[in-house]
Amino acid sequence: MPLTLKKMLGALAAGLLIALSLATTAATANAQSSGFKPAIGVFNPIRTYVSGLCLQPAGGSTAHFATVVQEPCDGSAAQGWEPLSPSNNHYTFVNQVSGLCLWDWDGAADTASHTGRVLMDDCNGSSNAEFNAGQHLPGVVPLESRLHFKDSGTCIDVPGGSAAIGLAVQMYPCNGTGAQLWVI
C-alpha cells in the first residue's frame, strides 16, 4: 500500500473516532439533562407488522408496571428497545428511557384461553421478561413468553390486529396471525 493511502486511511479512521466520541458525548449530555441515565447498547423500535406502529410504555412512562402500548413511530427514546439474548433465540427487551424490561405480567396464570398484560418491570433475569423470537434478530418475528424458561404458548399480541393509537398490547395464545408479528 503506498504511504499516502496509509496516511489517508489513518486520517479517516481518526476522524471517525472523533465524530463517534462527539456524538456519544452529546447523547450523554442530552440524556443527563433530561434526568435519565443513558443506557448502553443498540436501541431500535419494535414495530407491529400489521400497522407499523411502535411499542412504548404508555405516555413514555419510566415507572414500574407501566402498560406497553402502540403509538405512531416517532424515533423517541421511549420507543427504543435493546434486545438482550441470554441464549439462542430468547430475548429480553430493555427500554432505552427507563432501563426496564418488557414483561408478561400475568404469566403465572397463563392458560390456553388466557389473555394477560404486557407491562414494564425490572430486568432481573425473571422468565416473565424472556421471549422466544423463533430466530436470531433482526427479523419479523413472534414474541412468545418463556414462563419458567419454557415456551408458554402465549405471544405478545395487538388485540384484534387493531391500528388504534394508544392501544395496550396483550399476551394471547400464539396463533400465527399478523397481530403477533413484530418487526425488530
Residue 37 has a pLDDT of 40
Query: For residue 2, what is its C-alpha cell?
Result: 503506498
| Whole-structure pTM value | 0.75
Q: Which residues contact 123 (CB under 8 A, 6 or more apart)?
A: 84, 92, 94, 99, 100, 101, 129
pLDDT score, position 70: 98
DSSP 20-61: HHHHHHHHHHHHHHTT-PPPPS--B--EETTT--EEEEGGG-
Instruction: Give the pLDDT of residue 85.
Output: 86
pLDDT of residue 112: 54
The predicted pLDDT at position 5 comes to 44
Residue-level pLDDT at 83: 94
Longest dimension (CA), the chain: 70
Which residue positions in the chain have pLDDT lower than 70?
1-40, 108-114
Q: What is the pLDDT of residue 115?
A: 81
- Provide the pLDDT for residue 109: 54
What is the structure's pLDDT at 107?
72
Query: What per-residue confidence (pLDDT) applies to 12?
Result: 43
